[in-house]
Amino acid sequence: MTTAKRLVRTHPDQLLVGLVSISDRASSGTYEDQGIPALQGWLEGALVNGAQFETRLIPDEQALISRTLTELVDEVGCDLVLTTGGTGPARRDVTPEATLAVATKTMPGFGEQMRQISLKFVPTAILSRQVAVIRETADHAALIINLPGQPKAIRETLEGLKDDQGNTQVAGIFAAVPYCIDLIGGPYTETHEHVVKAFRPKSAVRVK
């Protein structure tokens, strides 16, 4: 793997995001990847200050997934890395194991909430093994989250479930992401509330 170019913020509050789609068939060209476009499209609509993206489309190979996550955090400098695919119980589904292998802290609440959201739709949500972790280096840290593989499930997981009036019924996981990034030393990330309302304690809200 060649050395990746480090991303540089165009302003202090810009989020640096790694997007990784993990699929044997998509990476071999058997079908077109839908995961990265779904992730990037959702983030572009949700983030107030935008983001820079570094993307990877790779097969379900545990060592390669771990190397890719390490590269995106340690070399590219991403604050947030989102993966899609490879989190089920099949033999080739090794994304959680590859993610845990590069972790310095685990964040189990994210996985718990993702399954709660999915259980509103299908009982097989209990088969999902998505995890979230923090990876820390000497001078940098990033949040890494495994997401579902389907665009609809990606959106529901990130922004939660709303009723016909737009009121939140089940909170999406991205509501907690900006404050988590604050706590690990990343940029102050704001979201468009009509997509997902970021939650921070009052003491952590920036005064404008």
* Tens place of pLDDT per residue across the chain (208 aa): 456 899 999 999 999 999 999 998 788 888 889 999 999 999 999 999 999 999 999 999 999 999 999 999 999 999 999 999 999 999 999 999 999 999 999 999 999 999 999 998 889 999 999 999 999 999 999 999 999 989 999 999 999 988 887 777 888 999 999 999 999 999 999 999 999 999 999 999 998 7
Q: Which domains does the chain have, with CATH numbers?
A: 15-204 (3.40.980.10)
Go through the chain and tell me how many residues it has.
208
**pTM for the full predicted model:** 0.95
In this structure, the number of other CB atoms found within 10 A of the CB of residue 161 comes to: 16
The closest of 79, 179, 76 to 135, measured between CA atoms, is 79
